[in-house]
Chains A and B, each alone.
Chain A
Amino acid sequence: MSYFVVKSLKKSYGKSLILKDISFDIDKGQVLSIIGRSGCGKTTLLRSLNYLETIDSGEVYLENELLLSNEFPKKENDIIKKRIHYGLVFQSFNLFPQYTVYQNIELPLKLMEAKREKENLPPLLNRPIEEEIMDLLDKVGLQDKRDSFPSQLSGGQCQRIAIARAMALKPDILCFDEPTSALDPELTGEVLKVILELKEKFHLTMIIVTHEMSFARRISDKVMFMDNGEIVDYGSPEEVFNSTKERTKAFLQSSIL
């Protein structure tokens, strides 16, 4: 079995099926990009994986451990334990405005360490928290902004901080929900560069929902094209971007124009 496996995920809102029958798998260190029109279900898929939505049926496994099924854990703590296998970077960053850059990363880390100590689990970090945070900030190239507030940063910088924060709890899979869609065009480059570095330098396993076609082509090991709640094409970037399927071709053409 692959590292990360999604088996026939289904989800509906009322009568409309949002995710029809989603199955795919990725290996450790691979990057999967999900492309498709707005409303095709790609963001819902990502949110479902992150326990922000419930699913109707289907299963998700990480290293043979069942992470998600339609039986949502009752206890908050059990959801948290499954959820933190993922990190999620939002389209709109969602940094906490009352905290500095440093505190934004420190808060979830400290709370998680406190929870682990309470349950007699070993700490997440084996070094001082400050070293860890500065290291994370270094990865996104923003060590000098540690004491700034989010409101003092550009959108691109905010998103880079959000990426550092999402990595703080050492997720197995880092998810991105249209990470550059809220940014001015001239700021998307710096964010995409950071994500590319995460792959090249740190070999993170990532799932990226994106509209940046050339970026998806460059970074991905696998590309998934979704339309109307189902997977139309799934394969290597070459396969998907040279697909002979009509729906894929039509989408790719429209997104280039």
Chain B
Amino acid sequence: MKEFGTITLELLNGLASSLFLFVLTLLIALPLGLLMCFCTMSKFKPLSWVSQGIVLVLRGTPLMLQIFVIFYVPGILFNFQWPSMNTGWGWFDATFSTRFIAALVAFGINYAAYFSEIFRGGILSIPKGQFEAGQVLGMTKKEIFFKVILLQMVKRIVPPMGNEIITLVKDTSLANVIAVSELMFRAQQQLNKGLIWPIFYAGLFYFLFNALLTYLLKAVEKKLDYIKV
């Protein structure tokens, strides 16, 4: 029983890492994805091509490989070290290690690529008349996007976005390839000691968190139900 308690604490510690990675990835990937979407949709062709190329590479190669590359390559080529937290508060510094930061960067740009395509699909699905109505009413492109299109787009992309977000929760476990001490990493450490059950226990954590997310996404969908397009 005492062992169960310590392992629970250990896994909760890993869960905290995973959740930080999850939330911070979203905070990076959502705006960055929108920016990439604008670049891809830009009428200035070179920008669009570069952006499409980046999306192709990011979606076309394994996320695990990208994590490796982002963690190791800057050090090998430019002698660049990813920063880490140095607050002197042990738990905090250990959680936001250089490894964590490198993984966060990899997740951020990888998910931004996926999000950018979802955003693009969302924008393309809005009837042209909405843009034109904004135009003839004297709005700037920026105003049309943020005041007219954005919310209609959000309504339409909640389901595919939910898919990606739920996938992200589980994908955070990929960070263990560079030894970020997230949930799966800690469960695996127990496995290496010969304990099998913590890995299922960890699976339950992922599941419960995703069940909660599913519920929240449904609530968002319901909240946006008043917009009939």
Contacts and interface: CB of A to CB of B under 8 A. Distances in A.
Contact of A165 (B137, B139, B229): B137
B130 A96 contact: yes
A90 interface: yes
B228 interface: yes
B152 A83 contact: no
Place the interface of chain A in its size category: 20 to 34
A94 B132 contact: yes
A15 B133 CA distance: 29
A8 to B, nearest CB: 24
Place the interface of chain B in its size category: 20 to 34
A51 interface: yes
Contacts of B133: 90, 94-96
A112 B137 CA distance: 9
A43 interface: no
A66 interface: no
Interface in A67-100: 76-77, 80, 83-84, 86-88, 90, 92, 94-98
B129 A90 contact: yes
B138 A97 contact: no
Nearest to A149: B226
A97 B155 CA distance: 11
Nearest to B129: A94
A92 B129 contact: yes
B135 A111 contact: no
A151 interface: yes
Interface string B124-157: 0001011011111111110100011001100100
Contacts of B138: 80, 83-84, 108, 111-112, 115, 169
Interface string A139-164: 00000000001110000000000000
Contact of A97 (B134, B135, B139, B229): B229
A50 interface: yes
Nearest to A171: B136
A151 B228 contact: yes
B77 interface: no
B204 to A, nearest CB: 39
Given A92-B129, A97-B228, A151-B228, A50 B136 contact: yes
Interface of B: 127, 129-130, 132-141, 143, 147-148, 151-152, 155, 226-229
Sort A-B residue pairs by CB-CB distance and give the 9 closest, nearest first. A151-B228, A108-B137, A94-B133, A94-B129, A88-B136, A84-B138, A98-B227, A98-B151, A80-B138
25 contacts: A52-B136, A76-B141, A77-B140, A80-B140, A83-B136, A84-B138, A87-B136, A92-B127, A92-B129, A94-B130, A94-B133, A96-B130, A96-B133, A97-B152, A97-B228, A97-B229, A98-B152, A108-B138, A108-B139, A111-B139, A111-B147, A151-B226, A151-B227, A166-B137, A169-B138
